[in-house]
Amino acid sequence: MKFKYFIVTIISLLAMTVLTGFYINQDGKAKVLQDDGKHSQEGLKNAETGFDKEWPLFKSDAELNINDKEAGMLILKLKSKQPAKTPKRNMKKK
């Protein structure tokens, strides 16, 4: 009976030490990640991107594409409103 209590005590102590070790390690990782996040945000603020230069070019290309597609849609609408041509065979029978 004493041996049973001894084994249970050792297992519980090992479990506590393992869980405590994971908890301490997790706190350290969280602090490192927070520090990395601060440095990366500063890096993003200081970084020079080509977005400002590329935006006008992209915008003009997109507007040209949109205008072309709208013109094509308008042509299709006008064609669909015109009366359909009847084949000559049908006209002879009538």
Amino acid residing at 18? V
15 and 39, same domain (yes or no): yes
pTM: predicted TM-score of the whole model, two decimal places: 0.38
32 and 55, same domain (yes or no): no
35 and 58, same domain (yes or no): no
Range scoring the smallest mean pLDDT among 11-15, 34-38, 50-54, 66-70: 34-38
Structural domain for 73, as ranges? 50-80
Judge whether 3 lies within some domain.
Answer: yes
Most confident region among 19-28, 37-46, 47-56, 59-68 by mean pLDDT: 59-68
Confidence tier at 30 by pLDDT (50, 70, 90): low
The answer to whether the Cα torsion of 53, 55, 61, 67 is positive or negative is negative
Euclidean distance between CA atoms 79 and 85, whole angstroms: 12
**pLDDT above 90 for 40:** no
Q: What pLDDT is attached to residue 62?
A: 95
In terms of Cβ atoms closer than 10 Å to its own Cβ (0-12, 13-18, 19+), residue 21 is exposed
CA atoms within 13 A on the CB side of 51: 3
